[in-house]
Structures are given as C-alpha cells and as structure tokens.
Structure 1
Amino acid sequence: MTIAPNPTSNQVRWLQVWSLASVQGAISLTWIAYAIYLPKFIEQVFAYPPSQAQQFAALLLVIESAIAAIVEPLFGGLSDRWQSWYSSRMPIIVAATLAATAFFMGLPCIVIFGGANDVTRLILASLAILWAIAMATFRSPVICLLASFAGATQLPLAGSVLTLVGGFVASIRPLATSFILGLGAPATFTIASITLLAGVASLRAATIYIPKNPVPDAAPDQDSQFPIRDFLGNLAIVMLVGAAIGVGIRLLMGDVLPRTIKADITGFTGLSFELLMGAALIAQALLALGTGRISKFIDNKRLMIVSLGGLILALGLLSFGYGAIAAIILILWMLLCLSAVNNGMVAFALTMVPKSLSGLTVGTFFGGLSGAIAIFGYAVPKSAALSMADVLILTAIAFLIAGLGIGWGDRLTRSIPLKV
C-alpha cells in the first residue's frame, strides 16, 4: 500500500496553501536579491575586480549549497520531533526566520558601515554563510506543511500553486535585475525581509485554522511505530531523485534554455534574451496550473516519470537543430513537462515515508538537490565551457536517473503494508 501523508482527506485547504506559497515566493525573492548583490558587496569590501568578485561569489554559493545538504535533513527531522512533542512546527520556523532576517539585513549594513578592511571581510563572509544556514533550517519545516494542507492525491495540485508563485518570482531576475540594482541594497534587502516576515506571519495565522493532532497521535511511541531505520532505503531514493532533478533543472534552466534562446530565438523574434527568458519562466509558472489539474486524474509518480521522459525526448530532438519555430515548440513542451515535475517533487517525497517523517523526507530531498548542485558547481565551475551536445546529454542523463529513481520508489512503497 502506498504510504500517504493524509489518505483520508481528498480536499485542499487553499488558504493555507497560498500562505505557504507566499513563504516559498519570499524565500526565492531573498535569494534573488542576495545573488544579485553578493558580487557587488564583494567588489566593495574585498576590492576585487568584477570577474574575481563573481568567482568568489560563486564559490560562496557552492559552499552554502554544500552546507544546506546537511542542514536541511537535520532540521527537517528536528521539526518532526517538535511536531510530535508540541503539535506544531511554527516555533522552529518563526525562530529561524527571525535569525535569517537579522543576518540578511546585516549584509548591506556591514558593507555600508564597515568599510574595506580585514575585519569587515571576515564578517561579510561569515554573515553570508550564517544567513544561508538560517534559511536552510526552516525551508523543509515550511514545505512539509503541504502534507497537512492537502490530501495525498491532491498534493501535486496544491504543489502547482508553489510552482506558480516560484515561477513568477524567478522571472524577476532576468526581467528586473537593473531595477533591483537601481533600488539600492538597503531598500532591496528591506523589501525582501519584510516580504519574508509577512509571508511567515500569514502562514502562522493560516495554520491556526488547522486542528492540532489529538494527544494519542502525538504519543511518544509514535516514533517506535515508524523508526527511521525502516525507511533508510526510501530516504536514499528521495535523496537520489532530489540530486538528479537538481542537476537536471540546473542544466536545463541554466544552460540548455539560455543557449537555445540566444542561438535560435532572439534573432528570430527580435526580442532581448532577458525578456525571452523571463517569459519562459512565467510560461512555466502558468503551465503548472494545467499540469496540476492533470495530476488529479493520473498518479503523481507516473506523471512525473512520463514528464521526465518527455523532457528527455525534447532534449534529443533539440540536438538536431530544426530551427527557431521548432525550438520554440520544444521549449514550450519542456516547460510543460518541467512544470509537472516541479508540481510533484514535494508530493513524491511526502508519499515515500509516513507523515511522522515528513520534515525529514522533504529535508532529504532538498538536501540531495543542494548537495548535487554544490558538487556540480565545484566539479564543473564553468558549464559554459561544455559543448551544447555535452550539456544536452548530461541533462538527459540526470532526468533519466530521476525517472528510474521515482519508478524504484513507486515499486518500493507499493510493497509496504503500512497504514498511516
């Protein structure tokens, strides 16, 4: 029997889901602001030229991803304990959000008031890493709340809202980088911080309307019923799928799409690369709503496998270079398939273990994703040096591994006679 987070419910609590999506969007917004300004901060404090500042910023991001690979499962599991003890994950989420906001606002402050000296350089690098750690501590506890807001069969549909909001926020970077730089660091970081705090406040208010688990469900022997060691294989599959999807999306959105747009579509349409890339992200966000509806009629794991197969097929066709119109069609097809994968990622992780381990499994998924991106960023610091054929092959292999992992996970969960 498939392990389901909430098998008895077939409804979606939309107020709570949208509140959760607002937090996810705010998290993405803070990372966008951070990625845009970090090289500028390094230039100013370290007195590096722009190219060297970019390299150092990339190194910091790799280090932060590697740390997140450890922190996310750790605090996801800790939030499960907290949930079993106090019937709420919100204390961890609120505390980590406040810490992250303090570190985040400290970054422009230290640059403005610290000057260019050794002490300021040490503080800046330390604050950047501390902020990334704080952000990693509450993402898994936040996202695993999706299991409380939607029934098992409705999780991908609820996940489509997260994909929708995430896609629109992600489009800010190609479309509005100049505008963000024009605002200045203090204003940008303040807006992002307020957005994050407001999102968490709205989520906290929304969860008040969710009934807390009765005392028997939170009994101390719950963990003895579902010990982690019984699900190590499931968690390993979740990590593998997260890692493969992370590398695949990194290559697809960071290399395949940009190269295809620049080579085939900018000249054909006469539009700028930034506008086309932003439009692609918005299109993927909107397509998520359609694939979310489809998930109501098709098992999520099966839909993800089919979508990953569709991505592999499109990557193969793209390698033949049929021209601009064919490239546009293939990009739209890949964005449609990718939206289905994004919708189902969290749902896949949540249905691999009992609900009492939901924070751990979501943390394991994101830990695998972050770890793979860190390893990839260290091993291939300049993926632009790879040929288009190499990028297409690597992307297809990553998605193939993800599809095999999901199929393996589906087979494994069907063989577990467990009622949650």
Structure 2
Amino acid sequence: MNAVNTDQNSFAPPAKILWRQVWGLAALLAAITFSWIAYGFYQPRILIRIGFSDLAIWLGIFQGLLGAIVEPIVGWFSDRVLGKFGSRLPLIVVGVTLAGLIFVGVSWLVETQISDGLRWVLPLLMTVWVVAMIIFRGPAIALLMSFAPTNQLPQANAILALVLAITSATSPILGLIFKQIGASMTFILGAIALLSGAVLLWRSMPRYLATGTTPKIAVLLLNKTSLTGYALPFLVGLGSGLEINLLLHLLPHRLFHAFDNLSVEYWQSGILLIAGIATLPLRSLFRRQQVTLGMGLGLLVIVICLILSFINNHIIYLALVATLGAMALGLVLTNTIPLALAMVSPSQAGFGTGLYFGGSGMGTTIFASLLVTQGEISPINGTISSLVALAIASICLYLFANPK
C-alpha cells in the first residue's frame, strides 16, 4: 500500500502489556455492547409504536450501510486527531458525550406524546446515535496498539473478546430487565453505562492524556495498488461479519428445533459464552505474525460446523457441533483486532480498524437483508452464503499474507 508514513515509529508500543489500560478499554467496550443491546431491544418497538412499522424493518439495514461508509472515515480522522493532539481521547469524549445525550433525549421523548408531524424526530435521533457510537468505537479499539507489544496483541485482545462475548451473552437476561423497567429507564442506563465506561478508560490511562512526542500524520497517496491494499481489511471484515451472523443464527435455530425447551436467544448466549471462555486458552496459540492463520482457521471451522449441523438432528450431536463452532468463533474474535491493526501501517491504526469494522458492518447488513427478503435462511442458502463469505475472506487473507 503506497502510503507515505513520515514517522511510523514516533509512538512506539510498550515493552509489556499494560493490563490496567486493557481492562479500562474492556470496560468501555462492555458499556458499548450494553448500549447496543438496549438500542436493539427497543428500536423496533418504539418505531412500531409511533407508526413506522416498515421503517422498523429497514432502518437497521440503512444504518448498517451508513456505518460501512462512516466507520473508515472516522477511523482515518482519528489518526489525524492523534497526529495533532497526541491522543485519540478527544474524539472518544465527543462520541461518548453525543451518544449519551441522545440516549437521554430519547428517554424523554418516549415518555411524551409525540405529534404526527414530529414522529420523524425519533428515527433521525436513532440514526445520529448510531453515527455517534461509530465516532468513538473504532478509535477506542485502535488504542489497543498503545497498550501491548506488537507480538502480544492477541493476548491483550483476548481480554476484550472475553468481555465482549460475555456481555453479549447476557442479552436475553438484559431483555427481560429492559422490558420490566421500560424504554425511558433503559436509555438512561445506557447513557450512564457509556459515561462510566469512558471514565474508567480515562482513569486507567493518565499517562496517555498527552504524549511527549506527537505522532506525525501519514499522508496517503492512493493509487490502484494502495486501494487494493486498503480493500483487504474491509473485505475480510465483510466475510467474517457475515459468517459470525450466520453462525449465531443457523446453529441456535437448529438447536431450538431439536430441543425446543430453550429459545433461540438462550442458545445464542450459550455459544457466545463458550466463545468468550475459549479466548483465554486460544490467545497464546497464534502470535502477532500468525494472526492471519488464526483468523483463516477460525472462519474455516465455522463453515465446517454450519455444514455439519445439517447432517444430523440429534441434540447431543448438534451441541458438540455448536461447541466446536463457538470455539472457532472465539479464535476469530481473538485475532480480529490484531489482524485489523496488522493490515495497515502503525500510524493508521484507526483507519485499519475502521476499514475492518466497516466491512463487518456491511456483512451484518447483507445478513439482515437476507433475513428480510427470505424470512428464514434455509440450510442450502445458509451453506452457500457461508462458503461465499469464507471465499472472500480467505482470498483477501492470502493476498495480505503473500504480497507480490
């Protein structure tokens, strides 16, 4: 990728993992996940209640497309902020503040009688909230490069993956709580969670509020080669995002049909919980130089598990397949951020994470579109989609690992 990096080493990684800072970042990611769960629980309910039933179906898809565009732009801008101020925290503070204020605003609006002429305010605020979350999520994740030596990024990222998976696994229980306390209190809790997560991150890293030497900005000279290089993290994110969504949809539905005493949401939580726990033993298998292999292996095993799940309906067989798939998901999560950071120069960490998670958002959008248009993803369509996703990600991983 032909990018002129004026000083790639002006902000060198630490000599050892800064666990306090890693856990501070994990706290913010837990708050982000909690907020997304709250938003996802009430968004369709609120839109249907105010008469936007059709919009409730398509707004998430539109917001996913918007995220795929905005995420890389915000990531690139966060690198510029780092180059100017020596810290990504200003952008994180702006995003957290905006998202928290919107949460509070929505909590007030849902308790008032909105006139027909002002109904559109809520969908607009929801979309702005998504953008606000994007403003600080990618830059926050890019901080990981400052918290761990290059060759130990998978070990540090395993903590983030563990917290992310366990927080996501609480979704059914949180849904029951949200239903009891109502939309207004749920959004207030979301705002409090975001503020608390940001404060914990801020307090964990006083030494990074300002740096002695300000990293210089990498100037991008885009040509055909560089555009191809920057497309790789986006496409890997797309393939992995689509595969993860298929895994968390198809396998839980197969388990539900075989053993219908537990709803799909609880099977999803079980898979996420196993994936989170699996990150701890898996984090030492692949060093920084091997994250490409770790990601490719995880994605391959996920597809194999999806295919195997359609061979037999026995609950024990499906439980074993789901466990293997969950462990493969843990492997993917462990290598996600180190891979995104490895695919760009050190001075473009925000851009790299933005490209990867923008692609992941596009994969989620494609999955949501399949659900909307098909109603239910059939085994054959699920298998074909997973194979296509694997092919996209594998080709891009190969091109990255074997540059000409």
Structure 1 length normalisation: TM-score? 0.87
Tell me which residue corresponds to 1:68.
Answer: 67
Could you say what secondary structure the match of 1:293 adopts?
coil
Tell me which residue corresponds to 2:27.
Answer: 22
Q: How does 1:319-398 map to 2 (within 5 A)?
A: 319-321=310-312, 323-378=314-369, 380-398=371-389
1:283 aligns with 2:274: yes
What is the deviation of 1:91?
Answer: 0.7
What is the deviation of 1:122?
Answer: 1.4
Q: Which has the higher mean CA deviation after the structures are superposed, 402-411 or 233-242? A: 402-411
Tell me which residue corresponds to 2:49.
Answer: 44
1:241 aligns with 2:232: no
Structure 1 residues 349 and 275: CA distance shift in structure 2, 3 A? closer
* CA offset digits 1:304-335 (Å, max 9, x no partner): 11222222222232231262212111111111
Question: Given the alignment, which residue of 161, 164, 169 partners 1:163?
Answer: 161
Could you say what secondary structure the match of 1:358 adopts?
helix
Which amino acid counterpart does residue 256 of structure 1 have in structure 2?
A: L
* CA offset digits 1:137-175 (Å, max 9, x no partner): 111111111111112221122111111111111122223
Q: Which has the higher mean CA deviation after the structures are superposed, 279-288 or 5-14? A: 5-14
Could you say what secondary structure the match of 2:283 adopts?
helix
- Gaps (5+ residues) in structure 2? none
1:218 aligns with 2:218: no
Indicate if the aligned counterparts of 2:13 and 2:147 stay in contact, CA closer than 8 A.
Answer: no
CA RMSD of aligned residues (A): 2.4
1:129 aligns with 2:127: yes
CA distance in 2, matches of 1:211, 1:42: 40
What is the deviation of 1:376?
Answer: 4.1
Question: Given the alignment, which residue of 257, 260, 266 partners 1:263?
Answer: 257
Structure 1 residues 300 and 204: CA distance shift in structure 2, 3 A? same
CA distance in 2, matches of 1:27, 1:228: 33
% of aligned pairs identical? 27
CA distance in 2, matches of 1:155, 1:377: 31
Indicate if the aligned counterparts of 2:41 and 2:175 stay in contact, CA closer than 8 A.
Answer: yes
Q: How does 1:134-213 map to 2 (within 5 A)?
A: 134-210=132-208, 212-213=210-211
What is the deviation of 1:279?
Answer: 2.2
Which amino acid counterpart does residue 158 of structure 1 have in structure 2?
A: A
Structure 1 residues 17 and 59: CA distance shift in structure 2, 3 A? same
Indicate if the aligned counterparts of 2:13 and 2:148 stay in contact, CA closer than 8 A.
Answer: no
What is the deviation of 1:337?
Answer: 0.8
CA distance in 2, matches of 1:180, 1:60: 21
CA distance in 2, matches of 1:10, 1:313: 39
What is the deviation of 1:110?
Answer: 1.3
What is the deviation of 1:15?
Answer: 0.9
Indicate if the aligned counterparts of 2:44 and 2:56 stay in contact, CA closer than 8 A.
Answer: yes
- Gaps (5+ residues) in structure 1? 416-420
Q: Which has the higher mean CA deviation after the structures are superposed, 141-150 or 277-286? A: 277-286
What is the deviation of 1:297?
Answer: 8.9
Q: Which has the higher mean CA deviation after the structures are superposed, 60-69 or 397-406? A: 397-406
* CA offset digits 1:269-316 (Å, max 9, x no partner): x54544333222211111111211323498111111122222222223
Structure 1 residues 335 and 98: CA distance shift in structure 2, 3 A? same
What is the deviation of 1:210?
Answer: 3.9
Tell me which residue corresponds to 1:418.
Answer: none
Q: Which has the higher mean CA deviation after the structures are superposed, 202-211 or 131-140? A: 202-211
Structure 1 residues 86 and 381: CA distance shift in structure 2, 3 A? same
Could you say what secondary structure the match of 1:237 adopts?
helix
The aligned length equals: 396
What is the deviation of 1:378?
Answer: 3.6
Which amino acid counterpart does residue 390 of structure 2 have in structure 1?
A: F
* CA offset digits 1:363-402 (Å, max 9, x no partner): 1111112123224434551444332222123123212321
